[in-house]
């Protein structure tokens, strides 16, 4: 999935950086914090730390390290996430029941595998290393994916604690929203999908053509202030705004606000990674499901962009390079969406990378001509291509090295624990007005 040039020293340096960053993220968390699973979608911190280690042990060491033996036989079972071809695995919703190995012992596991991977990379001959490089690089990106999940998951864990614990960071001072502007895009026959020598996941390929009608995109994300208007206008109670599955979910789960909002004495408060604070009107709304994003767009008389529209608009705006976007990604350590701020460097779209993953109107399906790689690694993405929607752009918990123009994140329609927000679109293929379609 990459033709990047790596040699043994650069691979080892990158390996050490990625592995150390996971430990830095876990460092503020006690062993007790690291053990809790607050709902089935959430995994305990120590499970993330162990599972990314299992990934290197399974896909890099096994079959390549002379005399390979697993660090611990049963870890094979415990820390396999979803790879059927590797073997049976422990039940995902029960990960929080596993008190042993503890956080300290997971550290020993990590240290052992780290040493063995370094040793392997240093001793493989050039040809063998070249064959293994793509898998090692996939391991880097896999671990960065879990670094983001670790933060999303601990946010949910800490949200269940009435002591309102702080993970890190400080709240942004209260801000009013900037007016929402619109960026016109001509459309036409455009190319979508990854190109070039850099890394991509298999699901970003093949690059292919799409036809786009003229459209426009909002120049910033939807704010909390706009979401409060939607709520005040009965947004969660009006079935005409919702997909059928969406309103059923609203009613079944009693949704009346984004996931982490609670009303206290008539004031809406929001749980964040830096504690519980009044909802800040000028910041992007986060932790809304696809259903909510879609209902909001309907209420606003707009729609969600398709993933092709999103990608093409970002390229047309000169923002294809995510690594130098200056977006609110995890390296800034805000760990929360920020205000849109003024447009910079002549770009018109704001908040493209970082802040919140942006729901699109596109179902997560294979691109034309997509074929997952052979073997267990083929299970990484392809088998999830049903019943999920694509999100673009990254969020405030995403590593900058992990944000990418063509990155296709995906979650089920009702998911709210990921840091997900909304950018509106308009024009292009218009919605039929009520009454036009029987």
Min dist CB 51 to Fe ion, Å, is 6
Ranked by CB distance to Fe ion, the top (closest) residue is 81
By beta-carbon proximity to Fe ion, the closer residue of 81 and 280 is: 81
Please give the backbone phi and psi of residue 407, each rounded to the nearest 5 degrees, phi first. -60, 125
Min dist CB 142 to Fe ion, Å, is 6
**C-alpha torsion 91→97→98→100, nearest 10:** -170
Which of these segments, 42-50, 74-82, 109-117, 347-355, binds Fe ion (CB under 5 A)?
A: 74-82
Min dist CB 79 to Fe ion, Å, is 9
Positive or negative: CA dihedral 374, 376, 381, 384: positive
By beta-carbon proximity to Fe ion, the closer residue of 50 and 389 is: 50
Which of these segments, 81-89, 178-186, 337-345, 377-385, binds Fe ion (CB under 5 A)?
A: 81-89
By beta-carbon proximity to Fe ion, the closer residue of 59 and 242 is: 59
87: left (phi over 0), alpha (psi -120 to 50) or beta: left
The yes or no reply on residue 147 touching Fe ion (CB under 5 A) is no
Q: Closest Cα partner for 33 from 208, 172, 150?
A: 150
Q: Could you tell me which residues come within 8 angstroms of residue 140 by beta carbon, excluding any fewer than 6 positions away? A: 14, 15, 18, 401
Min dist CB 5 to Fe ion, Å, is 26
Structural contact between residues 200 and 406, judged by C-beta atoms closer than 8 angstroms: yes
Min dist CB 151 to Fe ion, Å, is 15
Min dist CB 9 to Fe ion, Å, is 27
By beta-carbon proximity to Fe ion, the closer residue of 41 and 294 is: 41
By beta-carbon proximity to Fe ion, the closer residue of 139 and 235 is: 139
Q: What tokens does 380 get?
A: 């990484």
Q: Closest Cα partner for 317 from 344, 284, 341, 278?
A: 344
Which of these segments, 38-46, 75-83, 242-250, 292-300, binds Fe ion (CB under 5 A)?
A: 75-83
197: left (phi over 0), alpha (psi -120 to 50) or beta: alpha
Q: What tokens does 68 get?
A: 């390979």
Which of these segments, 2-10, 38-46, 77-85, 304-312, binds Fe ion (CB under 5 A)?
A: 77-85
Q: 34-73 mask for Fe ion (x: CB under 5 A)?
A: ----------------------------------------
By beta-carbon proximity to Fe ion, the closer residue of 98 and 168 is: 98
The yes or no reply on residue 144 touching Fe ion (CB under 5 A) is no
266: left (phi over 0), alpha (psi -120 to 50) or beta: left
Min dist CB 200 to Fe ion, Å, is 17
By beta-carbon proximity to Fe ion, the closer residue of 81 and 409 is: 81
Tell which positions 201-260 bind Fe ion, by CB under 5 A: none
CA 428 – CA 305 distance, rounded (Å): 10
By beta-carbon proximity to Fe ion, the closer residue of 89 and 347 is: 89
Min dist CB 391 to Fe ion, Å, is 17
Min dist CB 180 to Fe ion, Å, is 36
The yes or no reply on residue 81 touching Fe ion (CB under 5 A) is yes
Please list, residue by residue across 37-63, b when 16 or more beta carbons sit within 10 angstroms of its beta carbon and e when fewer do: bbeebbbbbbbbbbbbbbbbbbbbbee
Tell which positions 274-333 bind Fe ion, by CB under 5 A: none
Q: Please state, as a whole number, how many other Cβ atoms lie within 10 Å of the Cβ of residue 391.
A: 28
CA 308 – CA 92 distance, rounded (Å): 33
Q: Provide the binding-site residues for Fe ion, judged by CB under 5 A.
A: 81
């Amino acid at each position: 999935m990459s033709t990047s040039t790596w040699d043994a020293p650069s691979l080892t340096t990158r390996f050490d950086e990625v592995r150390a960053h996971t430990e830095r993220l876990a460092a503020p968390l006690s062993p007790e914090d690291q053990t809790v699973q607050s709902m089935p979608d959430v995994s305990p911190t120590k499970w993330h730390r162990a599972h990314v280690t299992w990934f290197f042990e399974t896909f890099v060491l096994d079959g390549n390290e002379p005399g390979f033996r697993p660090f611990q036989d049963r870890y094979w079972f415990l820390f396999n996430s979803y790879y059927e071809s590797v073997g049976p695995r422990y039940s995902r919703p029960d990960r929080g029941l596993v008190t042993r190995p503890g956080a300290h012992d997971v550290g020993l596991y990590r240290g052992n595998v780290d040493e063995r991977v370094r040793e392997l990379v240093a001793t493989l001959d050039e040809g063998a290393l070249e064959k293994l490089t793509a898998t090692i690089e996939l391991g880097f990106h896999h671990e960065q994916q879990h670094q983001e999940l670790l933060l999303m998951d601990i946010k949910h864990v800490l949200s269940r604690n009435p002591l309102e614990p702080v993970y890190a960071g400080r709240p942004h001072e209260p801000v009013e929203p900037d007016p929402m502007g619109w960026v016109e895009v001509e459309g036409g026959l455009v190319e979508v999908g990854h190109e070039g020598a850099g890394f991509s996941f298999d699901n970003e390929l093949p690059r292919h053509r799409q036809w786009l009608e003229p459209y426009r995109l909002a120049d910033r994300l939807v704010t909390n202030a706009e979401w409060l208007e939607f709520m005040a206008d009965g947004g969660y109670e009006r079935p005409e705004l919702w997909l059928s599955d969406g309103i059923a979910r609203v009613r079944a789960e009693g949704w009346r606000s984004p996931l982490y909002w609670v009303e206290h004495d008539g004031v809406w408060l929001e749980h964040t990674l830096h504690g519980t604070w009044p909802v800040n009107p000028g910041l992007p709304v986060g932790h809304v499901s696809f259903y909510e994003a879609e209902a909001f767009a309907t209420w606003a008389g707009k729609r969600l962009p398709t993933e092709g529209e999103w990608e093409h608009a970002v390229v047309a705006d000169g923002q294809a390079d995510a690594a130098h976007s200056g977006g609110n990604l995890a390296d800034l350590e805000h760990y929360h969406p920020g205000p849109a701020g003024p447009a910079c460097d002549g770009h018109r779209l704001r908040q493209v990378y970082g802040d919140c993953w942006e729901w699109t109107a596109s179902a997560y399906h294979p691109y034309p001509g997509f074929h997952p790689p052979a073997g267990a690694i083929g299970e990484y993405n392809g088998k999830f291509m049903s019943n999920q929607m694509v999100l673009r752009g990254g969020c405030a918990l995403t590593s900058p090295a992990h944000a990418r123009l063509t990155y296709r994140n995906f979650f089920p329609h009702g998911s709210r624990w990921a840091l997900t927000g909304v950018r509106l679109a308009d024009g292009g293929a218009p919605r039929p007005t009520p009454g036009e379609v029987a």
